[in-house]
């Protein structure tokens, strides 16, 4: 594990956020709300999604988006074009055998360095494809600009940035939320309050791939990209009593700071009327269990945010350039917030305090 200081770049964050253009807030029904009511967790909830009869998105809506084949070609082409600052690897396969490709961006890709690692994960839900498109934009923008843009160069030279554009390619192909087994992957991780998810045999291959990824590699921080609302969500996502309320994790201040970096660097996320400052504690919004965000924090020491980046889960493809512009500085600033002065002597103290805080939070 490597030491990092989020607060050391407060001035850096304020500089970039102050220059971000802002506009009117778009309103729509956020994800997590059905028929005007928030989705609540019941004791009988299982990982299986009983939504086979739900209407699927038409193929017309997918026009202009990359197919899984297109995505694979784009990732491999990026690897060839930007081979001096990248490597391409797979962390596993989906139910239907589609490789889960990752792009690593660094001036020393694949090498061990005293630098933090950050990951972006897109398309966790199959019917939320904006993230996979934006993450390819992000990778290509960094490649095109790192020799001439100070922020891109800062990331390349000081961070190992890992980008998983699609965690759920089968769900994307099927135009639905769950994977090929119709399982919501963001309810499939081991959970501190939901022991049924400890059944290893029931875990999906995509979930196992991500878990193994974090066992092999230490990430300091992370963000997954979703659609259906406009907000930066932080832990905890669930509560012990299953009720909706603000349930702070031991590093609440740090998570609020990270979420604010994204929100205030965004075109209009921080102007939200539903979420003050464009950020929210997950459990205060609506509790979920088996989520990837809390698992990252508890089991991998990785500070993960859940980013809702588009009110519309699957907007028309002609909106993608605008969504990229709205989210570009947020993605860059969040990754760049990991840049720090490496202090070897303080590292073990920080890790010990974090671990002790987690243990106390569960007493």
Active-site residue 363, yes or no?
Answer: no
Closest CA to 335 of 171, 187, 141, 195: 141
Closest CA to 68 of 188, 174, 185: 174
Closest CA to 331 of 10, 20, 66: 20
Beta bridge partners of 310: 229
| Cα–Cα distance measured from residue 221 to residue 235, given in angstroms and rounded to the nearest whole number | 13
**Residue whose tokens read 């026009």:** 63
Q: How far is CA 129 from CA 51, 68, 166, 315, 357, in A?
A: 19, 11, 8, 9, 36
Instruction: List the catalytic residue out of 113, 308, 325, 363.
Output: 308
Q: How far is CA 319 from CA 67, 72, 74, 130, 132, in A?
A: 17, 22, 20, 10, 14
Task: Give the SS3 label for residue 225.
Answer: strand
Q: How far is CA 217 from CA 122, 146, 180, 221, 302, in A?
A: 18, 25, 27, 12, 11
Residue 348 near residue 31 (C-beta atoms within 8 A): no
Give the other-Cβ count within 10 Å of 337's Cβ.
26
Q: Which residues of 202-236 are buried (b: 16+ CB within 10 A; e: fewer)?
A: ebbbbbebbbebbeebebbbbbbbbbbbbbbbbbb
Residue 250 near residue 351 (C-beta atoms within 8 A): no
**Residue whose tokens read 């850096």:** 12
Give the other-Cβ count within 10 Å of 242's Cβ.
16
What is the DSSP track for 83-108?
A: GGGEEEEEEEE-TT--EEEEEEESSS
Catalytic residue numbers read 308
């Amino acid at each position: 594990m490597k030491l990092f200081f989020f607060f050391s770049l407060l001035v850096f964050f304020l500089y970039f956020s102050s220059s971000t253009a802002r506009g009117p807030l778009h309103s729509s029904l956020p994800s997590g709300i059905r028929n005007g009511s928030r989705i609540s967790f019941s004791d009988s909830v299982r990982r299986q999604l009983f939504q086979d009869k739900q209407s699927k998105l038409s193929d017309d809506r997918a026009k202009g988006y990359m197919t899984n084949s297109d995505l694979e070609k784009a990732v491999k082409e990026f690897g060839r074009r930007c081979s001096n600052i990248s490597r391409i690897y797979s962390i596993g396969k989906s139910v239907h055998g589609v490789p889960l490709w990752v792009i690593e961006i660094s001036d020393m890709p694949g090498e061990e360095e005293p630098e933090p690692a950050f990951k972006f994960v897109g398309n966790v839900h199959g019917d939320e494809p904006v993230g996979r498109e934006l993450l390819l934009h992000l990778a290509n923008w960094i490649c095109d600009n790192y020799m001439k843009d100070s922020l891109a160069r800062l990331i390349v030279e000081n961070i190992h940035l890992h980008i998983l554009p699609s965690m759920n390619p089968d769900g994307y192909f099927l135009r639905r939320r769950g994977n090929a087994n119709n399982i919501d992957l963001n309810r499939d991780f081991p959970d501190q309050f939901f022991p049924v998810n400890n059944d290893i045999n029931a875990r999906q291959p995509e979930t196992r791939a991500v878990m193994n990824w974090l066992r092999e590699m230490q990430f300091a921080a992370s963000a997954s990209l979703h659609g259906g609302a406009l907000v930066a969500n932080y832990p905890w996502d669930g509560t012990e009593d299953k009720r909706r309320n603000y349930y702070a994790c031991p590093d609440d201040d740090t998570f609020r700071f990270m979420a604010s970096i994204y929100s205030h660097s965004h075109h209009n996320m921080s102007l939200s009327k539903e979420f003050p400052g464009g950020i929210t504690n997950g459990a205060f919004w609506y509790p979920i269990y088996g989520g990837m965000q809390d698992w990252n924090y508890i089991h991998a020491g990785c500070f993960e945010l859940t980013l809702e980046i588009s009110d519309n889960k699957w907007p028309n493809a002609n909106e993608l350039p605008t969504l990229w512009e709205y989210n570009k500085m947020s993605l860059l600033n969040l990754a760049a917030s990991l840049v720090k002065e490496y202090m070897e002597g303080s590292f073990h103290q920080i890790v010990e305090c974090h671990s002790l805080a987690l243990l106390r939070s569960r007493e």
